Structure 1
Amino acid sequence: MSQVWLITGSSRGLGRALAEGVLAVGHKLVATARNPSQLEDLKQRFGDNVLTATLDVADERSAASAVKSAVDRFGRLDVLVNNAGYGDVGSIEDTSLADFRAQIETNLFGTIIVTKAALPIMREQGFGHIIQFSSVGGRIGPAGRAPYAAAKWGVEGFSEVLAKEVGPLGIKVTIIEPGGFRTDFAGSSTTLREGRPEYEDTVGKMARYQRDYNGRQPGDPAKAAAAVVHVAGLAEPPLRLLLGSDALRGVEQNDAARAKEHAAWRELSVSTDFEPGG
């Protein structure tokens, strides 16, 4: 059955791969970007199945307009994908508060704003699927990516609460956690700052790794898109889905280390309770 999708950040990266994947299997799409002229080729290739729209995810009116355009054109909204985002590399000390706010505004508040724009439509329909692009950085805090990780950890918490609130209303929620994919995310979309020498072994190492990693990531964007399209068709999709062998390996190692730490400090943790009968 054909679905109606709205994808934020459709002009490049995983958003672009997903837009093409959605249209290739016959779904209808509202493809959005800050500059919709970058989406003109989708209209030429897929005709009336695609509507392009301007969307600044940090602007409430822009989000409301994009969601309304989906309903006006296609009659409903089945799948919302909050994909738009970016993440620079730099130390916490050297990252300005303006840069912190900008990354959190796009990556976290953008997700919240567009989600809230879509919720009344999906609630009234009694169905829908909200797919939130987080990151492996939403499960692990990588050196040099504090604003990005703070935002993505926020997306994880927001989306987990969202799933509990809207599940009984027939609305599904899935958090996508990609590892490294061969898009421009690690290239032109990212500013890399190695910073001062005191952070050479942490932030500097991350910045150099990011430069070397670009173009050698294990993840195939087209396969990621196919996985997301598959999940959107499931009656019982997962709340969280890791994408990529590197993401799976990193999170499994991180979760094991976290469980070990919990066990090591268990006695101190439980010592803060009142005594029985207290």
Structure 2
Amino acid sequence: MTTTWFITGTSSGLGREMTEQLLARGDRVAATLRTTGALDDLKAQYGDQLWVAALDISDPDAVRRVVDAAFTELGRINVVVNNAGYALFGAAEEVSDVQIRQQTDTNILGSVAVIRAALPHLRDQGGGRILQISSEGGQIAYPNFSLYHASKWALEGFVESVAQEVAPFNIEFTLIEPGPTQTNFVGGMVSSAPMAVYDQTPAGEVRRGLNSGSFGTLGDPVKVVQAMIASADQMPAPRRVTLGANAYTQIHAALTARLAALENQRDIAFSTDLTS
């Protein structure tokens, strides 16, 4: 049985790799990207198996229009993959208001718009799966990625809530949390002008690591996408899929420390309740 996927941000990186793998195995793909010509080679090879539309997910009207068109023209769409996004790099006081707005409009509001546009269609067809591309950065944080982390942590909270709202309609969510992967992620980051005052701080250290190439990117994009695709077949849907040794190690350490801190606050937490 052919599976139909709707994927945003397919011009490069994980979105392009996923589109290629799915088409090669015989699935149908509704692919969106800001410049449709980037998929001309795949369109020529796969024809009607690939449906392509231009979309900037920061435009909510366009999101609704394109999502509606995809469901109308392709019928049932089994899996929606919310992949489009980018990272804003810089210390919090280095980045501009315009850059913050772009980060928020794309990663948070854009992803929310795609989900909201898809939900009525998934509900009407009796269910479906949504893969929300998050990051290890939705569970941990590095210096100089504060706005990127803000977007991913926000999405994780949004998905946790919406998943409960739509579970009765057989709509399931999975948050995909890859670690640093060998895609064009670093090259595609939006950077701010550095401030000298941060040179000898953790923010400066991370900036030097990225500039020198020592900031490790161990993830294999082919294997990451294979795991993402496989997660869509798991029943029930896993709420999170962590991908990469670095992601697992960092998230495990962060959650362990967070739980220990919470346990240490048990007494004070209970002490603040009303007493009868």
SS in 2 for 1:86: coil
SS in 2 for 1:64: helix
Aligned equivalents of 1:196 and 1:162: distance in 2?
42
Aligned equivalents of 2:252 and 2:193: distance in 1?
29
**Map of 1:209-228 to 2, 5 A cutoff?**
209-213=209-213, 216-228=216-228
TM-aligned CA deviation for residue 143 of structure 1: 1.1
Aligned equivalents of 1:182 and 1:223: distance in 2?
11
**Map of 1:7-46 to 2, 5 A cutoff?**
7-46=7-46
**Partner residue, 2:243:** 243
SS in 2 for 1:257: helix
Q: Which residue identity lines up with residue 87 of structure 2 in the other structure?
A: G
**Partner residue, 1:4:** 4
TM-aligned CA deviation for residue 167 of structure 1: 1.1
Answer yes or no: is 1:264 the counterpart of 2:264.
yes
**Partner residue, 1:230:** 230
TM-score, normalised via structure 2 length: 0.95
Answer yes or no: is 1:129 the counterpart of 2:129.
yes
**Structure 2 CA distance for partners of 1:108 and 1:44, relative to 1, 3 Å:** same
Structure 1 unaligned segments of length 5 or more: list them: none
Alpha-carbon deviations, 1:125-157, whole Å to 9, x = none?
A: 011111101111111122111111111111000
Contact 1:194/1:205 (<8 A) preserved: no
**How many residues align structurally?**
276
TM-aligned CA deviation for residue 266 of structure 1: 2.4
**Partner residue, 1:81:** 81
**Partner residue, 1:107:** 107
SS in 1 for 2:20: helix
TM-aligned CA deviation for residue 213 of structure 1: 4.1
Contact 1:182/1:216 (<8 A) preserved: no
Contact 1:4/1:77 (<8 A) preserved: yes
SS in 1 for 2:129: strand
Answer yes or no: is 1:208 the counterpart of 2:170.
no
Aligned equivalents of 2:215 and 2:209: distance in 1?
12
Aligned equivalents of 1:214 and 1:64: distance in 2?
41
Contact 1:194/1:203 (<8 A) preserved: no
**Partner residue, 1:63:** 63
Aligned equivalents of 2:69 and 2:28: distance in 1?
12
Per mean C-alpha deviation after superposition, the further-off stretch among 170-179 and 38-47 is: 38-47
TM-score, normalised via structure 1 length: 0.94
Contact 2:209/2:215 (<8 A) preserved: no
Q: CA RMSD in A?
A: 1.6
TM-aligned CA deviation for residue 182 of structure 1: 0.3
Alpha-carbon deviations, 1:92-136, whole Å to 9, x = none?
A: 112122211110110010110011111110010011111101111
Alpha-carbon deviations, 1:188-240, whole Å to 9, x = none?
A: 44426543324532211112222344795111111111111111122312011
SS in 2 for 1:116: helix
SS in 2 for 1:200: coil
Alpha-carbon deviations, 1:151-185, whole Å to 9, x = none?
A: 11110000011110111101111011110100110
Per mean C-alpha deviation after superposition, the further-off stretch among 201-210 and 249-258 is: 201-210
Percent of paired sites with the same residue: 37
**Structure 2 CA distance for partners of 1:189 and 1:134, relative to 1, 3 Å:** same
**Map of 1:86-165 to 2, 5 A cutoff?**
86-165=86-165
TM-aligned CA deviation for residue 262 of structure 1: 1.3
Answer yes or no: is 1:273 the counterpart of 2:270.
no
Aligned equivalents of 2:258 and 2:216: distance in 1?
29
Contact 2:23/2:46 (<8 A) preserved: yes
